[in-house]
Amino acid sequence: MTILNKITTYKKLEVAARKAAFPVSVLKQSTLFDRTCFSMAKSVSEGSGIIAEHKRRSPSKSVINENILLPEVVKGYETAGVSAISVLTDTKFFGGSLDDLLLARACVQIPLLRKEFIIDSYQIYEAKAYGADAILLIAACLDESQLQEYAALAKELGMDVLLEIHNEYELKKSLHPSVDLLGVNNRNLKTFEVSLEASKALSKLIPDSYIKVSESGISNIEAIKELQPYGFKGFLIGERFMKTENPGKSATEFIRQLM
């Protein structure tokens, strides 16, 4: 069983429990549910393009940074000039939580992406209720009808959609009008090896109507410069900043070099 299978299997149990405790009718009563979202697509295409992540740990790297407090991280990212912040809300495998999303929303005024393994429409209502501006859909976890349904629901709730793909097969089932950003994950989910060649190869097949985002393995300016000629506007950076003592300062220096 791959790590993705393990995560989604557990996620189904987790979501069922949350649904029973907090039905959608309760989520809709959140003070954040009716707020107007910031456009992640607009911010990425017009700004630095950096989507900086708050991530404490991961299945592949174990502990990344569990010492620094979330407000310090996200405020540092905002000051640095990132286009958006990705907040991991998975607890079991990544050490995050929905409370992290809520706290981030209270701290910054830029787009927040709920980084989660979405396998149920319930999680999209959750994202909206906890202050997300955009959601991540992973093509490897969902069939085409689910991708279409979940993307449409997110748009209905006023959020943008980043749809993540790994190969041409996943790309073909992901080309829906409700998708704003198409992300190519450079990490092979079976081997966990990372190569920018994945982004380069798939870039030619992604229509220009989507904002192209490259994910994983982006740890230096050279990688971004290498990908920009292929039409990539967004770059999700998950560990480069978090593994330092001061993620905000690290992001500031990175963006200063990039610009």
Q: Which distant-in-sequence residues (6+ apart) come within 8 Å of 245 by Cβ? A: 68
Instruction: Give catalytic residues, as residue numbers.
Output: 53, 55, 115, 164, 185, 215-216
**Cβ-proximal residues to 41 (8 Å cutoff; 6+ apart), any chain:** 134, 160, 180, 181, 211
In DSSP terms, 113 is beta-bridged to 86, 134
**Residue 226 CA from chain centroid, whole number:** 22
Q: Is residue 233 classed as helix, strand or coil in its secondary structure?
A: strand
CA 92 and chain centroid, separation: 17
Q: Residue type at 73?
A: V
Asked whether 187 and 193 are in contact (CB, 8 A), the reply is yes
Q: Could you please report the per-residue DSSP string of 55-100?
A: -SEETTTEES--SS-HHHHHHHHHHHT-SEEEEE--STTTS--HHH
Which tokens go with 30?
Answer: 């959140």
Q: Which residues touch 75 (CB under 8 Å, ≥6 apart)?
A: 107, 108, 248
Distance CA 21, CA 84 (A): 30
